[in-house]
Amino acid sequence: MPDRHYAWSFVLALMLVAMAGIRCAVAQDLAALEKLLHAAGYQLYNPARADWGPGFVFAGDVVNGRISNVEEICPNLYSNMGSLKGAAVVLANYKADDSFSFGVALNFLKNILGDKLDIGGMAQDKVDVSWKNMREMSYTHMDQWLETGEPRPVAARCRAAIEDLKLKNRFKDRIFVITRAVAPEALVYDFSRAAHADVNGSANFMRGLDVAVQGKGHITNGTQLVVDQHLFVGYAPPIKIDDWLPSHLVSGEIVQVRGRTSDLIVE
């Protein structure tokens, strides 16, 4: 009996060591990208988001410098903002060699393809992923309008949700907006290694991929997929909304929204 007990204890110890190693590897992978973003003044989105870009409004509870229990309110605070503007490059061509950033890129592609093409078994040794020119994205003047409380048209979805939160006394110190976020100009998926291993199978796969990604990306060089939809991987500290003052116009769409920069981290 003592020998059996020792054997099981030894097996359990090995399992714990392996699990710790996995956690350590993930943490190291995460730290690589996180460190680069921190050096440029941004926080890491974990997981990365396709819809938490500039203008994104959310509610949450602030505890120890972190915003938890995040509740999405609306994708864009102001109406008719036009196109996002890209600032200077934060990171040039980031190669997704680590398991964290590779997994982010793979999940992003899965969400784009939906059920049109199954890439669930795609291994990291079969595809190279590059994040091209990660830039800070923002809307012109949004920071300024929030600082001064400039009266602006606000999206109906935002107005309804925030008025509801105010009625429920859940507005004060709980509403935030992202004004600057980091995203690559494009994600490039290079399937050259898979093509060399299986020429016929790869050709069929690329044809299927070309059809599945219509309107969201394009194939180049026969083995590369370029996706130029925004994937937000980092963000500048969010603005905490302090004042929400609707106009007396019949439409109600003009609102004075005033806020100030926080130093909070979004969980």
Look at the chain and count its residues.
267
Structure tokens at 83: 């196109």
Burial of 183 (0-12, 13-18, 19+ CB in 10 A): buried
Domain count, the chain: 1
DSSP string, 176-190: EE--EEEEEEEEEEE
Domain range for 222 is 2-266
CA 61 – CA 43 distance, rounded (Å): 18
CA 130 – CA 116 distance, rounded (Å): 23
57-63 vs 66-74, strand pairing mode? antiparallel
Taking 3-state DSSP, the helix, strand and coil percentages for the chain, each rounded to the nearest 5, stand at 35, 35, 30
Alpha helices in 99-155 (DSSP H): 99-113, 142-148
Sequential pLDDT tens for the chain (267 residues) = 444 443 333 233 323 333 333 333 344 455 678 888 988 899 999 889 999 999 999 999 999 999 999 999 999 999 988 899 998 788 888 888 888 888 888 889 888 888 887 776 677 777 899 999 999 999 999 999 999 999 999 989 999 999 999 999 999 999 999 999 999 999 999 988 876 666 566 788 888 888 888 888 999 988 899 998 899 999 999 999 999 999 877 567 899 999 999 999 998
